[in-house]
Structure 1
Amino acid sequence: MPQRTSRLRRTAVAAAAACGAAISVLGAAPAQAASNTVDVYVWATDVNMRNCPSFSCAPYSHVKLSQVTVDAHCQVKGDTVVDGPYANNWWVQVTAGGPRGWISAVYVSTGNNWEPIPGVPTQREGNCAP
């Protein structure tokens, strides 16, 4: 009987180790997928998200970003946006739990006027999807 108990114990330990390895692999997948994005904070309220980095694209209906952290994929130069003392012609492609779209860099809490958002790749560095 002691031999059976140790066999069961070894099986249980092996199963627990396999589950732990599977959980580690599964847990790592989202982090690897998210490594192509940078978290940025949208400081303003009711920020329009568009299908392109230009006023020529109408805002998505029923999609407004307000004081939220979003995933930034890349950035490109586009139409100039001015809001109070802030001005920028860089646009950031983001997702916030819905469709991928573009917002002006003016509404991202990091960065300076007329400059790209630090840490977010530019279009020539990749990650921009249509």
Structure 2
Amino acid sequence: MQFKRTGATVIGALVIAAGSALLTAAPAGAVGGCDPSKLCLYRSTEYRTMSFAASSTGACFDLEGYGLVYPSNGINSYVNNLPVNATLYHSEPTGWFPMSTIRSGGFSSNTGALTPNGYWYRHSEKICTGSAHP
């Protein structure tokens, strides 16, 4: 009888260990269906509704055409698999103002948790990769 209980305990522990291994965080390259060589921006949290993907390491993109500016959804999650940073910009009367930088290898499932209400990510109008500027 003791043998059966010990065997059941060991099997139970192995099942729990195997299950927890499946729940560990995935590397940025596997997050949200983002290609391992791209920058991906999502209109929803938790990497849902990918609206933008780019592989260029030195270009700027208008976010309005992708539904990623205020008052629409903005950027609510992102994955940056590029080897360079990506900088978010907002238009000011004196020119373009850098709002935030998404580091190479960086990812967030909820930009609202990064800044008050995700302001920088919802009010940016351009994103530039590498050393490009608007």
Q: Please state which band the TM-score falls in when normalised by the shorter chain.
A: 0.3 to 0.5
Q: TM-score, normalised by structure 2?
A: 0.37
* TM-score between the two structures when normalised by the length of structure 1: 0.38
Indicate the structure (1 or 2) with the bigger Cα radius of gyration.
1
Q: Which has the higher relative contact order, 1 or 2, with Cα contacts under 8 A spaced 6 or more apart? A: 2
